[in-house]
Chain A
Amino acid sequence: MSTSAKMIIVLTLIATLSGGILASWDSFTAPRIEQHRLEALKEAISEVLPEYDHYDEKTVDGRTFYTGKTAKGQTVGIAFQAKGSGFQGEISMMVGVTPDFSKITGLSILAQVETPGLGSKIVSDPTNKQNPDWFTEQFQGVTPEPEITVVKNQKPSKSTQIQAITGATISSKSVVKILNNTIEQAKAEYAKEVKQVS
């Protein structure tokens, strides 16, 4: 058998073997991977919305809205993802708002690569023993309109303010900037979708 023919046959054999292994492995693992993804998504939504019975998913202009509803179909809140650049890299989060987008119901940081020990406090602050999640929790009830602002070293006095993390002002401000940009845009997109339906 000529070398060229042998080369082609062997490579085709290996490729077929590879394809076979991967195809069957794909069908074996894909369902579980999807299940994990859905579980993580559900957990993130539950963290930012008030109690709901089930949620509907709708995508408008590339953004997916998760509308939490009661058993009777009444909307309790709307959750969606927001992302943008933080201090070290991208921050991605899930934010929940009231049905009219007038108040934030919750915030959950999904992924970040901020400075460990400083910017990473936006997720969990080990120096605050009573309430390590204080940073994201303070967003509950905040009014995003006209825009959220950041105050340093003092408690917020207005419903549009949140307190920055000491030593991590930029990370704190990044979160706020991302929210300001996203909520405004999301509100317009959602309104468009509702108009389409009705």
Chain B
Amino acid sequence: MAKKEVSLTREYLKGLWDENPVLISLLGLCPTLAVTNSAVNGIAMALATTFVLVSSSLLISSMRNFIPHQVRIAGYILIIATFVTVADRFMAAFSPEISKALGPYVPLIVVNCIILGRQEAFSSKHGIGRSLLDSLGMGTGFLLVLFVLGSIREILGSGSILNFQILGDWFNPWMVMILPPGAFLTLGLLIGLSNWWNDRRANA
């Protein structure tokens, strides 16, 4: 049975919605909830994660024929942890403010299921080109979710977006939005909404 060749654009786009790592696959929830108290933090985390995702995918994809099956997880973890350290140190050196805001959640990218998941499911089985597109797509999907979640929580919780105050003094911020309960509730609503939308599309 011949495998249907997925177009290159499709390889990238699927990560944005149809196979969105957070909303559909429910991966990487820890950082999604933790650092989306503001849009900037969400974007920074997504960029760091995408960096690790893309670098690891490229390296693992190019080595895929050399890594023995039994030690592949250990190998992936080693590679991923290395790139996470690079990203973490980079932020600490060049943007200490953001590094402090994201705190210990940057090293937690190591156990972000999205990255390990993608290596296992895709990069270890496809060439460099496709792996690049796949990881960029997943990263972009992740970025979109974090940006939306971060913006909602920031607007309602601080009255600002991207650190620009847009709601005046008349607005009494919903403190809960920048606290854990707000994160859970907003994500729950987003997931529910996307499921509802996908259902509608499928039944239309």
Residues on A close to B: CB < 8 A?
3, 6-7, 10-11, 14-15, 17-18, 21-22, 25-26, 28-29, 32-33, 36, 40, 115-117
Contacts and interface: CB of A to CB of B under 8 A. Distances in A.
**A interface, over-half SS:** helix
Interface stretch (B18-26, B68-76, B104-112, B132-140): B68-76
Contacts of B78: 11, 14-15, 18
Given A21-B82, A32-B94, A7 B71 contact: yes
Contacts of A10: 66-68, 71, 75
Contacts of B68: 3, 6-7, 10
Given A11-B74, A18-B78, A22-B82, A29 B90 contact: yes
B173 A117 contact: yes
A115 to B, nearest CB: 8
Contacts, number: 54
B8 interface: no
Interface residues of B, number: 23
A28 B93 CA distance: 9
A25 B179 contact: no
Nearest to B94: A32
Given A14-B78, A117-B175, 7 more contacts: A3-B68, A10-B75, A18-B78, A25-B89, A26-B89, A29-B90, A116-B175
A44 to B, nearest CB: 14
A145 B195 CA distance: 63
B89 A116 contact: no
B178 interface: yes
Contact of A21 (B74, B86, B96): B86
Interface in B83-100: 85-86, 89-90, 92-94, 96
